Amino acid sequence: MSELKLQFESATHFGPGETLRGIASWKLNQPAAEIDLRLFWYTEGKGTQDVTIVHSTTLEHPQQTQSYPFQFELPPSPYSFSGKLISLIWAVELVVRPSKESTRQTFTMSPTAEEIELHTAMNK
Amino acid sequence: MKARENPFRVERVLTVRYRPPGWTFEQLMDRLERLNYRGAIVGAEGSGKTTLLEDLAPHLAKHKFHAKFLRLNEAHRTIDESFFESIGRSDVICFDGCEQLSDRAWRSFEKRTRHAAGLIVTTHSPGRLTTVVECSTNPALLREIIERLVGPDYSVDVESLFARHRGNIREALRELYDQV
């Protein structure tokens, strides 16, 4: 099994428009055709899942062992939030092709840099 | 509880895959091969038809076929022309929800997809293609799935939950989502 790692330079809490910097590193068992690095958000909860890829970078014919610094400008929205029925989660994901091995690192994005809790927000 | 922490959230439930009761995927593939990869997975709602259809994809790939998925439901009952145009000769069409087509539309669909390598459908009742699997549920299966999601100590009256949802495992798990 390959070793895949995603590490953010600083915290895992960000504000809209900030720059998320990090390092993707991998040690692959076999050569890969390409590696995708994606910034995206997805929902989890009771209903059907939504997924939106905001930025995506593809590295063709990557080295079998490599460290790759990356940075993404975060968009103004949507904010990370959680309620009883749905959570919105931001993440960076690294996907190796064609093996489809992947790893993911989640983070929160909101004006307070904290996840917005819907029941709290509604009670205010 | 936050949605992302709920043990019955959809993404987690979807990690519970189809477990063949008393047969193997190899046996199912043999049966499909004898039927020229044309067959129906039959069962009531929430009995695992879609999960089984999805889980067939890697087994089809081992036989050098590509699983080409098509999903219809009550909200989406039409098939885009581009679907027919994109069918390749190594595609096995995995059609989830074929009962959404009228008999006439089904006949037309069958005719227009004959050049595909196969056609496997899910449907609530038998008749359109030879039935290869009948999906069914029981309280023991529901209990097993609940235990896989939350462990053996979770307290719930599985028999009445199962009866309340008439064997629809998906709906039973949705009820549990609201209870935690």
In a domain, B160, yes or no: yes
Nearest Cα neighbor of B134 from B21, B6, B37 is B21
Residues written for chain B? 180
Q: Say how far apart CA B63 and CA A112 lie, in whole Å.
A: 52
- Percentage of chain A with pLDDT > 70? 96
Q: Say how far apart CA A118 and CA B96 lie, in whole Å.
A: 35
Pairing of the two strands A51-60 and B91-96:
unpaired
- B74 three-class SS: coil
Q: B58-67, pLDDT tens digit by residue?
A: 999 999 999 9
Domain containing residue B39: 31-135
Q: How confident is the model at residue A102 (pLDDT cuts 50, 70, 90)?
A: very high
pLDDT of residue A45: 96
pLDDT of residue B46: 94
| Residues on chain B touching A46 (C-beta within 8 angstroms) | 3, 6, 9-10, 174, 177-178
| Residues on chain A touching B6 (C-beta within 8 angstroms) | 45-46
Instruction: State which amino acid sits at residue A96.
Output: V
Would you say residue B171 has pLDDT above 90? yes
Number of domains in chain B: 2
> Within this chain, do residues B107 and B150 fall inside the same structural domain, yes or no?
no
Say whether domain A3-123 belongs to CATH 3.40.50.720. Answer: no
| Residues on chain B touching A50 (C-beta within 8 angstroms) | none
Q: Say how far apart CA B129 and CA B35 lie, in whole Å.
A: 10
Q: Measured between CB atoms, does A109 come within 8 Å of chain B? A: no
Instruction: State which amino acid sits at residue B28.
Output: L
Q: How confident is the model at residue A1 (pLDDT cuts 50, 70, 90)?
A: confident
Q: Say how far apart CA A89 and CA A107 lie, in whole Å.
A: 7
B133 and B157 Cβ atoms separated by less than 8 Å: no
> Within this chain, do residues B175 and B108 fall inside the same structural domain, yes or no?
no
In a domain, B45, yes or no: yes
Q: Is A43 left (phi over 0), alpha (psi -120 to 50) or beta?
A: beta
Would you say residue A122 has pLDDT above 70? no
User: B174 vs A46: CB contact, 8 Å cut-off?
Assistant: yes
Would you say residue A120 has pLDDT above 70? no
> Within this chain, do residues B77 and B161 fall inside the same structural domain, yes or no?
no
pLDDT of residue A123: 58
| Residues on chain A touching B177 (C-beta within 8 angstroms) | 46
Closest approach of A12 to chain B, Cα-based (Å): 17
Q: Report the sign of the C-alpha dihedral through residues B57, B58, B60, B65, in that order.
A: positive
> Within this chain, do residues B62 and B147 fall inside the same structural domain, yes or no?
no
Number of residue pairs across A and B with CB atoms under 8 Å?
Answer: 36
In a domain, B82, yes or no: yes
> Within this chain, do residues B93 and B149 fall inside the same structural domain, yes or no?
no
- Cis bond before residue B20 (omega within 30° of 0): no
Q: Which of B1, B10, B177 sits opposite A49 (nearest CB)?
A: B10
**Rg of the Cα atoms in chain B:** 18
Q: Measured between CB atoms, does A49 come within 8 Å of chain B? A: yes
Q: Measured between CB atoms, does A84 come within 8 Å of chain B? A: yes
- B134 three-class SS: strand
pLDDT of residue A113: 84
Instruction: Report the complex ipTM.
Output: 0.82
pLDDT of residue B58: 95
Q: Which of A45, A83, A117 sits opposite B9 (nearest CB)?
A: A45
| Residues on chain B touching A117 (C-beta within 8 angstroms) | 2
Residue of B nearest to A85 (CA): B3
Cβ within 8 Å of residue A81, ≥6 positions away: A87, A88, A110, A115, A116, A117, A118, A121
Would you say residue B100 has pLDDT above 60? yes
Cβ within 8 Å of residue B10, ≥6 positions away: A44, A45, A46, A47, A48, A49
Nearest Cα neighbor of B158 from B176, B131, B179 is B176
Q: Measured between CB atoms, does A81 come within 8 Å of chain B? A: no
> Within this chain, do residues B119 and B88 fall inside the same structural domain, yes or no?
yes
Closest approach of A88 to chain B, Cα-based (Å): 8
Q: B107-138, pLDDT tens digit by residue?
A: 999 999 999 999 999 999 999 999 999 999 99
pLDDT of residue A119: 76
pLDDT of residue B131: 97
Q: Say how far apart CA A21 and CA B144 lie, in whole Å.
A: 43
- Percentage of chain A with pLDDT > 90? 84
Q: How confident is the model at residue A57 (pLDDT cuts 50, 70, 90)?
A: very high
Domain ranges of chain A: 3-123
